[in-house]
Amino acid sequence: MDILNQLANTFFDWKAMGEVIPKMFAVGLPNTIVLAVVSGVIGTALGMLLALMGISRNAAARWVARIYTDILRGLPPVLTILVIGFGFGPIIRELTGSTSPYPMAIAALSLMSGAYIGEIFRSGIQSVDKGQLEATRALGFSYGSSMRLVVVPQGIRRVLPALVNQFIALIKESSLVFMLGLLATEREIFQIGKDAAANSGNLSPYVAAAIFYLALTIPLTHFVNFIDARMRAGRPEKKEPDEAAALVGKGAQA
């Protein structure tokens, strides 16, 4: 029984949790959401640029995209965040006078997610049947307009589930920015839990942080499943036989 009590005290100390939860709502949650959403938006724009470069007819553009993607996808997130945060932080400080590592945290997360999202977009765009580009060009559209109006929108649609998965990963990876030493008002869910755990010598604040993360990620996971199923089945609409088929087809012979 001692062990069970000990575990309960370590992980489910309601008092310690109760103390940290208001701060998580007031500071941690907004910061996690800002970090994830802002770097998600920048990463999506960067990813689209990388994808278009990756399928470009210009070899130099393809190489730049390839090298960038290989490096950023190949590094541990922890290393990227540290190198960008500590490496470029002082330069930004000199230029802007701002001592906050927050923009560096967003930059590091954006650059990483851009590499992943670029690959997601590229595979989506390349999976669109080449007849679509051909048909659009046959109507008289330029290559650029054909891609923008017909091919890319279809490619994006197909990879929406993967894109949301990437956003879930981003929410989780945003916890790593604690390493940059954020100001008290800039701390996200994980660091608030970590600080509280360090002060109280109890792990319950981590459990509280876990609940916050799950409250964000689980609905998104189910949202992915929903759009995935919707895209597989399509909106329900009744399919009618061809009128011409009715004249000469199976119905006529019955």
Partner 1 sequence: MSEFASGTLTAKNIHLSFGSNHVLRGIDLHVEKGTTASVIGPSGSGKSTLLRVMNRLIEPDQGDILLDGRSVLKDNPDELRRRIGMVFQQFNLFPHKTVAENISLALRKLRGMSKEQARDEALAQLDLVGLKHKADSRPANLSGGQQQRVAIARALAMKPEVMFFDEATSALDPELVKGVLALMTDLAQGGMTMVVVTHEMGFSRNVSDIVTFMDAGVVVESGPPEQLFTNPQTERLQGFLSDVL
Stretch that binds partner 1, among 5-13, 68-76, 117-125, 137-145 (CB under 8 A): 137-145
Stretch that binds partner 1, among 40-48, 77-85, 91-99, 127-135 (CB under 8 A): 127-135
- What is each CA distance from 212 to 178, 242, 254, in whole angstroms? 17, 53, 63
C-beta separation of 46 from 114 below 8 A: yes
Work out which of 145, 185, 199, 221 binds partner 1, going by CB under 8 A.
145
| Nearest one of 21, 23, 121, 119 to 70, comparing CA atoms | 119
To partner 1, the closest distance from the beta carbon of 125 in angstroms equals 13
What is the footprint of partner 1 within residues 231-250 (CB under 8 A)?
A: 234-235, 237-245, 248-250
**Comparison of 214 and 231: residue with beta carbon closer to partner 1:** 231
Tokens at 216, concatenated: 């964000």
| Nearest one of 157, 148, 192, 160 to 174, comparing CA atoms | 192
The answer to whether residue 228 forms part of the interface with partner 1 (CB under 8 A) is no
**Comparison of 74 and 144: residue with beta carbon closer to partner 1:** 144
C-beta separation of 49 from 119 below 8 A: no
Distance CA 146, CA 138 (A): 10
**Comparison of 137 and 172: residue with beta carbon closer to partner 1:** 137
C-beta separation of 49 from 110 below 8 A: no
Helix (H) or strand (E) holding 38: helix 29-54
C-beta separation of 92 from 103 below 8 A: yes
To partner 1, the closest distance from the beta carbon of 51 in angstroms equals 18
Stretch that binds partner 1, among 38-46, 147-155, 167-175, 202-210 (CB under 8 A): 147-155
**Comparison of 78 and 138: residue with beta carbon closer to partner 1:** 138
The answer to whether residue 254 forms part of the interface with partner 1 (CB under 8 A) is no
**Comparison of 95 and 233: residue with beta carbon closer to partner 1:** 233
Query: From the CB of residue 45, how many other CB atoms can be counted at a distance below 10 Å?
Result: 13
**Comparison of 95 and 139: residue with beta carbon closer to partner 1:** 139
Work out which of 8, 26, 79, 129 binds partner 1, going by CB under 8 A.
129
Q: What 3-state class would DSSP assign to 166?
A: helix
Q: Which residue has the tokens 């009590």?
A: 5
Q: Is 141 exposed, middle or buried (0-12, 13-18, 19+ CB in 10 A)?
A: middle
The answer to whether residue 18 forms part of the interface with partner 1 (CB under 8 A) is no
How many binding residues for partner 1 (CB under 8 A)? 32
To partner 1, the closest distance from the beta carbon of 236 in angstroms equals 10
Which stretches of the chain bind partner 1, using CB under 8 A?
A: 129, 131-132, 134-142, 145, 149-150, 153-154, 157, 234-235, 237-245, 248-250
